Structure 1
Amino acid sequence: MSWASRVRSLRSGAERRFPVLAGLTERLVDGNLLDAGTRLAAQAFLASVPLLFAFAAFAPAAVRDQLRDSLRAMFGLTGASAAEFQRVLGGGAPDEVRETTGAIGALIALVSATSFSRAMARVCERAWGLPRARTRIAAWRWAAWLFFLLLVVFLQAPIRDGFGAGAWLGVPLFFVLATGVWLWTQHLLLAKRVAWLPLLPGALLGAAASTALGITAPLYMPTAFDRALSEYGSLGLVLTLLSWLIAVCGAVTFALTIGAVLAREPPLDRWFDPARHPGRAPASGAEPDGG
């Protein structure tokens, strides 16, 4: 028997004994997950930059300070990179910034940022093989999810510090919060077409990925930011941030997709299979997927 035939035989035997492997292999190979994660990261970046400037222009000083502290906690910002974020959020000339940005510009930034919500919704829908929800059903969900995510980012500093207790509480608190975020994200953006319980495996995997990346980011991001800033200027910060977003969004995309497969395949299907749990929205709540 040739080496290739032996590998195929081993794979077939493993898939017969563990059917979940067949489902995972099919979704990971055919689902274009890396492309989906990259598109999600691009939309996240395009949403975060205008929102950051809108915050700098219109938010009160206390809000800007809290956001700056949270960004420092997320990335471990020090030195030149911390000074660069301070320059953006410091609001040294708020009147001039407001004139440049304008209320209409800030509103447009908020509306355009929902493209990130729509991309996240498509990730969830592809993970569960569902058609795209109708705009009249999904539109308010896009805005609600975006504002909730902004709130989570805004509170990163106290959460990671365990509200003053330290990392021993901050890390498990971060994991629990991340589990809730990804559980609610799927339930909201899927327009209640999948019950809560089947969404739990994906939420736990998403939380594990988010926690791992969240803990390690302060260890390597400060050096990456400072090196990129010294070599490429502000453009270096942009490229570094985009690279980090690609890693996070790619990990979340894989986590939610794998979670959806695990929930519907043995041995977890007896507890999590959506067919065993009521809670799907009516079929009229969706329209054919346009790609």
Structure 2
Amino acid sequence: MRAGRGSGPSTGDGESGRRGRPADLGLRLRRLRQTAETRFPVIIRLTSHLIAVNLLDSATRLAAQAFLTAVPLLFMVAAFAPQSVREQILVSLEDVLGINGVADQQLKKVFDADPGSLRQSTGVVSGLMVLISATACSRAMQRLCQRAWRMPGAGTRIAAWRWPVWIAAWLAMLILQGPLRGGFGVGIWLGLPLLLVTEVGMWWWTQRLLLAARVPWAPLLPGALLTGAAVTALTLTAKLYVPAALNRSLDKYGSLGAVFTLLSWLISLCVVVAVGITAGAVVAREPAVSRRLGSPD
């Protein structure tokens, strides 16, 4: 009986000790967070903002919409665009992704096909439907920009015309990729700065356009710089892994394998875009930067 009575308090102390461990751990984590917020406020705000933007979900949706937009548009261009434009897009795609081998042969089949037969298979109505559905990619990008800047959606009457304009501008950017990278015949030493400046300019304009001019130009510059530099680096390194992965997927799994490879690369690209735009919005709202750029509250 004495032994039983003596064991009671020790059991209670063990239970209270076990209960105290989570409390101590929680207290340590709170202190660690407070220390991090004090020493690295920008990183903490960026991390919390990326979580609020729902980075992976936004990037995956954007990549899916971009893929569903790009493939039909390529067929539309092959059917209705002049021969010179078709050849230039083919050169740009080969240059951007480094496409060769089996993948290059499949791509050339589309652009070397008879435009008349392609027009008959697509038709004017199908072309209009493709253009209308292509605006889904614009809307996905617009939602990403609005989440990054914590802004409500713009009215349809204000934003609707901006969606096809954005798609047309990026299609023109794709056509010019080949000449830009080659420095319009001068060489890569001119092409690389031109490509970087053009990418920064396009992402600067993209935010201004899709945010319906509700944010001044200056605060949008950090996001444009970060996104333009990251996208340029990613597209320049695409030649190192996309061609081999694409040809390997085509050999093993056929067209479905190519879809998976391209979609994986697009998701990586859209993650970079989402991080760049969101980080730019966070940086632009830092007190020291905000005072100089006139960022909105």
User: TM-score if structure 1 supplies the norm length?
Assistant: 0.90
Alignment correspondent of 1:85: 107
Question: Is 1:39–1:119's contact at 8 Å kept on the other side of the alignment?
Answer: yes
- Structure 1 counterpart of 2:213, one-letter code: K
Q: How does 1:75-224 map to 2 (within 5 A)?
A: 75-91=97-113, 93-224=114-245
Q: Percent identity?
A: 53
Shift of 1:270: 2.5
* Structure 1: runs of 5+ lacking an equivalent: 277-291
> Matched residue pairs, number?
275
Shift of 1:16: 2.0
Q: Deviations over 1:241-288 (max 9, x none)?
A: 111111111110111011101110244222234238xxxxxxxxxxxx
Shift of 1:164: 1.2
Alignment correspondent of 2:249: 228
2: distance between equivalents of 1:60 and 1:29?
45
1: distance between equivalents of 2:46 and 2:98?
35
Question: Is 1:23–1:265's contact at 8 Å kept on the other side of the alignment?
Answer: no
Question: Is 2:53–2:144's contact at 8 Å kept on the other side of the alignment?
Answer: no
Alignment correspondent of 2:85: 63
Shift of 1:14: 2.7
Question: Is 1:20–1:266's contact at 8 Å kept on the other side of the alignment?
Answer: no
Shift of 1:20: 2.1
* Structure 2: runs of 5+ lacking an equivalent: 1-20
Q: Deviations over 1:92-138 (max 9, x none)?
A: x3222211100111111111101111111111111001111111111
- Structure of higher CA gyration radius: 2
In structure 2, which of residues 59, 62, 84 is the aligned counterpart of residue 40 of structure 1? 62
Shift of 1:180: 0.3
Q: How does 1:15-54 map to 2 (within 5 A)?
A: 15-54=37-76
Bigger mean CA offset, 7-16 vs 64-73: 7-16
Which structure is richer in relative contact order (CA contacts within 8 A, separation 6 or more)? 1
Bigger mean CA offset, 22-31 vs 243-252: 22-31
User: TM-score if structure 2 supplies the norm length?
Assistant: 0.88
Shift of 1:63: 1.1
